[in-house]
Amino acid sequence: MIRKVLEQVKNGSITIEEAEKYFQKESFEEMGYAKLDMQRKVRSGFAEVIYCSGKADEHLKHIFARLFEAEGEVFGTRASEHQYELIKEMYPQVQYDPISHIIKIEKEGKSRIGQIAVCTAGTADIPVAEEAAQTAEFFGSKVERIYDVGVSGIHRLFSRIDKIQEANCVVAVAGMEGALASVIGGLVDKPVIAVPTSVGYGANFHGLSALLTMINSCANGIAVVNIDNGFGAGYMATQINRLGVKQINE
């Protein structure tokens, strides 16, 4: 691990100050109700993210404050309007998106690399897609949003296929029967991350039908995350995008 930290300093992915903090601190910070993983960014390249839903107000406030103090930015998922108002009292600069329920403070002037295409079958899938897109952007990826291109009007997808094929990774977000991922998987030579959503009528079973379709896809190169897990898709897409950019630069 020490060698990895020194290599990251050498290639500029972390600063000397960040490395110094790593060597000075414990592997986590004990808060009683939470153990904050303060070295996660050094180990994995991604700082810890807050899953806001279900957290007590005081716990969320203290966790948010501690991560902001350590990183200078914070990213939280599944936040409510009430939680946003709590954090806004502490940090007026905090941003909240009521569509994706993302809450964040982001460093200014952050550069973004590569290209990820985030596609949805329908407009109702956009909240999950935005969770994926904004996660990828927060962690430094360029994102192209291509929404409402589902298989019920497949010509809409074909009108944007060139842009989709240019991406290092594609995130396909779909409810109903979840066929979008299979169609895209047969048209691109890059990994496709399929995200089933809970959008649909009764026999959709809150996303289960889309999940099963995606898992059983006959197209190759498709990986599937959990129902409505936009964050997981955006995180994985960023890892793939970073590898794609690294390969190009080498």
Q: What is the pLDDT of residue 245?
A: 82
Q: What is the pTM of this model?
A: 0.85
pLDDT at residue 244 in the model: 84
Using DSSP bridges, classify how beta strands 102-105 and 95-97 pair: parallel, antiparallel or unpaired.
antiparallel
Tell me how far apart the alpha carbons of residues 211 and 187 are, in angstroms, rounded to a whole number: 20
Question: DSSP character for 146?
Answer: E
* Positions in the chain short of pLDDT 50: none
Range 183-195 burial, b when 16+ CB lie within 10 A, else e: bbbeebebbbbbb
In one-letter notation, the amino acid at residue 148 is: D
pLDDT of residue 32: 65
Q: What is the pLDDT of residues 97-151, one digit of tens each?
A: 999 999 999 988 888 999 999 999 999 999 999 999 999 999 999 999 999 999 8
**What are the Cα distances from residue 158, in Å, to 11, 113, 116?**
40, 25, 17
